[in-house]
């Protein structure tokens, strides 16, 4: 599954929003790596920074937000250093974004094929019309939509179809990284499944790396390889999907998993005590410490760094020493 070099490397990405009430640090030096063909699920509460991260990677942060630092490497190109015209070229061709709520993402007065055609023509202006048309049909087929859809207008399509059109647009130019931002939130369960399967298949066909953003852990469990848990703009844990569910390392991740209702304890709802932190007045040290059942003195003063463990898992918590071993764990732990 993983090859020698990661296709996506995010290093210390930082984004703040400058509001009247003050500066809100939305993304606090987040870093991650993704290998070709890998699927990463990004989860966290609303407002934790998931979408901000996606937009930042696409360099689509608008005022009053500002990207304050960090690098985003796709292969060896740092997107943050590209001049705007080159960045425009990179969007959709190197890294593409499938939006949340496709309901409104399609231009109501253009036919579907027109909206796909202008994307292709923008990036590949010399391509012949026949080829462009072939690409459009190809993309529609890969999301299991009939060719006739190309001549239709967005309001003639159902929600699921519109989402699939957005996916089709997202893969038009064969990008290396695909970000899908809560692609199924607005859909019913049956359509959800269809769309997720489409996404899955399309990603495999392209061999692209995918980041799936959401807060539906169940959905994540079925489709991704790794899960990254975000809290207040920082990654708290990045682990393979199986491990996150069976043995979450970070207390926040554990609380999330435990809050999932199961068939065994029906009617018993567990939440996470406290409120989401203000991004303007962040708690010092580890941002989670006011709500953490296992907080220690050091948690209140110094933010923990994201540590790479021997088993490939990453966690940012003082419960684990600099090797990533838990204080009360036996020395020998089998690597995955």
Euclidean distance between CA atoms 91 and 95, whole angstroms: 5
Among 64, 207, 261, 273, binds another protein (CB under 8 A): 273
In the complex, least distance from residue 167 CB atom to another protein, rounded to whole angstroms: 12
In the complex, least distance from residue 131 CB atom to another protein, rounded to whole angstroms: 18
Rounded to 5 degrees, what are φ and ψ at 152? -90, 165
| Residues numbered 89-108 forming contacts with another protein, rule: CB under 8 A | 89-93, 96-97, 99, 101, 103-108
CB closer to another protein out of 105 and 142: 105
- # of chain residues touching another protein (CB under 8 A): 38
Q: For residue 42, which of 184, 238, 202 has the smallest C-alpha distance?
A: 238
Query: Quick one: residue 149, left, alpha or beta (phi over 0 = left, psi -120 to 50 = alpha)?
Result: alpha
If binding is defined by CB under 8 A, does position 110 make contact with another protein? yes
Q: Calculate the alpha carbon distances from 198 to 71, 163, 165, 194, 209 in Å.
A: 31, 10, 11, 6, 15
Binding mask 137-156 for another protein (x = CB under 8 A): ----------------x-xx
CB closer to another protein out of 11 and 272: 272
Residue with tokens 């090797």: 323
Euclidean distance between CA atoms 255 and 105, whole angstroms: 34
Expressed in angstroms, the distance from the first to the final Cα of the chain is 14
CB closer to another protein out of 75 and 311: 75
Q: For residue 226, which of 333, 304, 149, 315 has the smallest C-alpha distance?
A: 315
Euclidean distance between CA atoms 115 and 109, whole angstroms: 10
| Residues numbered 57-86 forming contacts with another protein, rule: CB under 8 A | 58, 60, 85
In the complex, least distance from residue 126 CB atom to another protein, rounded to whole angstroms: 16
Query: By the criterion CB under 8 A, which residues form the site for another protein?
Result: 58, 60, 85, 88-93, 96-97, 99, 101, 103-110, 118-119, 122-123, 153, 155-156, 166, 169, 268, 270-275, 293
């Amino acid at each position: 599954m993983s090859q020698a070099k990661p296709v996506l490397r995010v290093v210390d990405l930082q984004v703040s929003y400058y509001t009247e009430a003050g500066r809100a640090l939305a993304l606090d030096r987040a870093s991650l790596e993704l290998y070709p063909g890998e699927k990463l699920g990004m989860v966290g509460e609303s407002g934790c920074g998931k979408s901000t991260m996606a937009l930042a990677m696409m360099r689509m942060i608008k005022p009053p937000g500002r990207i304050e630092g960090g690098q985003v490497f796709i292969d060896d190109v740092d997107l943050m250093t590209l001049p705007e015209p080159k960045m425009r070229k990179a969007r959709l061709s190197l890294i593409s974004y499938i939006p949340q709520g496709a309901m409104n993402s399609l231009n109501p007065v253009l036919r579907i094929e027109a909206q796909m055609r202008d994307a292709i023509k923008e990036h590949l202006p010399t391509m012949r019309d026949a080829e462009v048309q072939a690409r459009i049909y190809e993309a529609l087929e890969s999301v299991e939509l009939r060719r006739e859809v190309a001549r239709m207008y967005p309001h003639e399509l159902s929600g699921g179809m519109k989402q699939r059109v957005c996916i089709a647009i997202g893969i038009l130019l064969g990008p290396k990284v695909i970000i899908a931002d809560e692609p199924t939130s607005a859909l019913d369960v049956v359509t959800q499944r269809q769309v997720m399967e489409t996404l899955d298949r399309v990603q495999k066909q392209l061999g692209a790396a995918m980041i799936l953003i959401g807060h539906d852990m169940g959905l994540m469990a079925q489709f991704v390889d790794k899960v990254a848990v975000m809290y207040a703009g920082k990654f708290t844990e990045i682990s393979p999907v199986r491990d996150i569910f069976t043995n979450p390392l970070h207390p926040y991740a554990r609380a999330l998993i435990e809050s999932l209702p199961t068939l065994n304890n029906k009617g018993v709802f567990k939440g996470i005590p406290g409120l989401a932190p203000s991004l303007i007045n962040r708690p010092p040290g580890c941002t989670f410490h006011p709500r953490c059942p296992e907080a220690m003195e050091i948690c209140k003063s110094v933010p923990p760094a994201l540590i790479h463990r021997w088993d490939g898992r990453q966690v940012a918590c003082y419960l684990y020493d600099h090797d990533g071993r838990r204080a009360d764990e036996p020395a020998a732990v089998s690597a995955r």
